[in-house]
Structure 1
Amino acid sequence: MYEGKFPKKRYKHTLSFLTEVISKEDKILDLGVSNPFSEILLKEGFNNVTNTKGEDLDIETTVVKSTEFDVVTAFEIFEHLVSPFNVLNDIKAKKLVASIPLKLWFASAYRSKTDKWDRHYHEFEDWQFDWLLEKAGWRIIKREKFTNPVRKVGIRPILRMITPRYYLIYAVRD
């Protein structure tokens, strides 16, 4: 198990989910550049992880068309895309593990004030993401929602303690 403290609660939750649904021997294409979670995967023994290079997946989906990967992982990626359907439809791997932030009725969509790429074009409700996956030919095997409390005082922090913020899925394609 990962010896250090997880920098974010969702990393621990995501790792637990991932280890339940895929093998450490699977070849993984992780959508997004190398990041703290992909480093955790390596430390946890997932030694066949390849990250994308930062290409605009709305326009260029060649990387997911490779047949050399068993699994595609996408942790908080699809909300940044204008058209996540294109990527989901083009994936050649037979397994997908993905997470998205859920739309919160008490907060507007995330938009960084300093980074023009770090913003959410979509914040899905669970049924919307399910429908998108279904349209792209995926069958969901396992799904899970979880909260993401913050250590702040106020109404929104209280709501974050009881309102699911993230949605994880494991899906397959025949």
Structure 2
Amino acid sequence: MYEKSYPEKRFRYTIRFLKKHIPENSSILDLGVENPLSKIMKDEGFTVKNTKGEDLDIDISIVTNSKAEVITAFEIFEHLLSPFTVLKNIKAKKLVASVPLKLWFASAYRSKTDMLDRHYHEFEDWQFDWLLEKSGWKIIASEKWTNPTKKIGVRPILRWFTPRYYIVYAERV
């Protein structure tokens, strides 16, 4: 199977997973501002609307008012203090979401320059599964993948075989 070359491995894996579970003619609300991945989704034939940068811990009206058939959230829930509130209030029947997995050898991500770019949660797969199930979702499929770097050291070596990303396709129960 031919795969396009994307700037990041996670884009390639995410698009492949999305295409496997979601028909291209589905309407999607992608949580997060427009970004390279949401542009790729549009290029691949999906109808995508992005949120506008609302603080989803405080204002979930864009989620509750959405008529989209599918909600996507790629590396979003780790930034929220309460992802349960958003997940519980999604009206769409389908969800595709990915999160960075907690790495035992690295601290949670925290930008030194952007106060909003930090991870409140870095999940283990079972924790994210539990969050989804508790908020009314049934996991239909999931995958994990690594995120190797070209740096030298013990942690970069561990990144070659330790999964970093976890993606799920879930349906509303």
1:23-172 equivalences under 5 Å are 23-46=23-46, 48-172=47-171
**1:2 CA displacement:** 7.3
Separation in structure 1 between the aligned mates of residue 145 and residue 40 of structure 2, nearest angstrom: 20
Instruction: Name the amino acid aligned to 2:140.
Output: I
With over 3 angstroms needed to count, the CA separation of the structure-2 counterparts of 1:36 and 1:2, relative to structure 1, is farther
TM-score, structure 2 length as denominator? 0.96
Unpaired runs of at least 5, structure 1: none
Contact 1:2 1:44 (C-alpha < 8 Å) held by counterparts: no
Alignment length (residue pairs):
172
Runs of 4+ in 1 over 2 A off after TM superposition: none
Give per-residue Cα distances to partners, 1:16-53, cap 9 Å, x unaligned.
0000000111000000000000010111111x100001
TM-score, structure 1 length as denominator? 0.96
With over 3 angstroms needed to count, the CA separation of the structure-2 counterparts of 1:35 and 1:2, relative to structure 1, is farther
Separation in structure 2 between the aligned mates of residue 108 and residue 2 of structure 1, nearest angstrom: 33
Instruction: Name the amino acid aligned to 1:62.
Output: S
Separation in structure 2 between the aligned mates of residue 158 and residue 2 of structure 1, nearest angstrom: 26
Unpaired runs of at least 5, structure 2: none
Separation in structure 1 between the aligned mates of residue 3 and residue 156 of structure 2, nearest angstrom: 28
Instruction: Name the amino acid aligned to 2:12.
Output: K
Identity %: 65
What RMSD in Å do the two structures reach over aligned CA positions?
A: 1.2
Separation in structure 1 between the aligned mates of residue 45 and residue 25 of structure 2, nearest angstrom: 9
**1:88 CA displacement:** 0.2
**1:66 CA displacement:** 2.6
Instruction: Name the amino acid aligned to 1:23.
Output: P
Instruction: Name the amino acid aligned to 1:9.
Output: K
Contact 1:148 1:164 (C-alpha < 8 Å) held by counterparts: yes
